[in-house]
Structure 1
Amino acid sequence: MAKSNGKSLSIKKGDTVKVIAGRDKGAEGKVIGVLREEQRVIVEGVNRIQRHTKVVNQGGRAGNTGGIITAEAPIHVSNVMLVEGGDVTRVGFRREDVTKRRPDGSTYAAQRSVRISRTTGKDI
């Protein structure tokens, strides 16, 4: 397994992305999974592969019938760009001051990270 560099990814589950490199270049789809350790995302309808599965009879009704299964394979996060407002954009981060509340009722100042669009500067 690949080693994580500790950084979070700028693409999240549910985002709409456009593929900018590879066999499916130009395709758009919704992110259905994020593999942070491998720095890969699974995009709906992109990078589809076929798996040939055997018939497994053990397990009663839980056994699989076998055949050819088509599924999405992960694609590296550097090969996709976030789509916002019909166009692709790079993702930036801005630190925002917020006040948080402790369980005992007292408050304290903290910061949180907010994703922003590099083209428009608006929150995503």
Structure 2
Amino acid sequence: MTKLHIRKGDTVIVLAGKDKGKTGKVLQVLVEKERAIVEGVNMVKKSQKPSAKNPQGGIVEQEASIHISNLSLIDPKSGKATRVSIKHEGKNVIRISKKSGEEIK
């Protein structure tokens, strides 16, 4: 199992691809594939059959996954992209912003 610098609920910025520069909240992290689903980023159109939830069916727009290497965490202090260092305190793992030195919640 690989360790990733991004977790569910983090605010990230896209570094590469068609949505470069966009920011969003991480909805889900796919650890095995090293990908993440970010709110409002990498939108794709998908056709859906009629169901109880969507009785009309039709074309629905939803987020697709994006590779973790194309994402960077946003610094809590400056609001810009930052790298992450990891500090171990007993069993707890604390992520620290390289740009400001602040703890990332």
Is there any run of 5+ residues in structure 1 with no aligned partner, and where? 1-5, 97-109
Q: Which amino acid aligns with 2:62?
A: A
Listed one character per residue, the Cα deviations across residues 57-116 of structure 1 (whole Å, up to 9, x for unaligned) are xxxx467431001000000000010012311100110112xxxxxxxxxxxxx4422111
Deviation at 1:17, TM superposition (A): 0.4
Which residue of the other structure, out of 24, 27, 34, is the alignment partner of 2:22? 27
Deviation at 1:119, TM superposition (A): 1.2
Q: Which amino acid aligns with 1:19?
A: V
TM-score in terms of structure 1 length: 0.75
Higher Rg of the two aligned structures: 1
Specify the alignment match of 1:92 in structure 2: 85
Which residue of the other structure, out of 33, 36, 40, is the alignment partner of 2:35? 40
1:79 aligns with 2:74: no
Listed one character per residue, the Cα deviations across residues 14-63 of structure 1 (whole Å, up to 9, x for unaligned) are 1110000001001011111111111111000000000012335xxxx467
Q: How does 1:1-124 map to 2 (within 5 A)?
A: 6-55=1-50, 61=52, 64-84=55-75, 85=77, 86-96=79-89, 110-124=90-104
Q: Which amino acid aligns with 1:75?
A: I
- State the percentage of identical aligned residues: 46
- Name segments (4+ residues, structure 1) moved above 6 Å: none
